[in-house]
Amino acid sequence: MTSQIAMLSHLGVALASDSAVTMGGSGRTFSSVNKIFSLAGRQPVAIMVSGRARYVPGDVSWERVVGMYREQTGDKEFTRLN
């Protein structure tokens, strides 16, 4: 089970998440997993994952998906995020 919170004010958003994960088949627990990722560069956008934490169509970790996005965008800054 994942514990997460997002707190919003007029100044911004604060995200927090636990860092433990249990692997389904083996039942092993790992205590230092990243669940919050900055989307890219200096963009003020973050992603918080929970549950299976994998992008289902390819069974790829969200950490890898976000990393690939960062590689593609580099230092570009966008005025909007669709």
Q: Write the DSSP assignment of 5-74 as a string of letters.
A: EEEEETTEEEEEE---EE-TTT--EES----EEE-STT-S-EEE--TT-EETTTTEEHHHHHHHHHHHHT
Question: Which pLDDT belongs to residue 24?
Answer: 66
Mean pLDDT, residues 53-71? 84
pLDDT score of 17 more than 80: yes
CB 20 within 8 A of CB 27: no
Q: Give the DSSP letter of residue 31.
A: S
pTM: 0.67
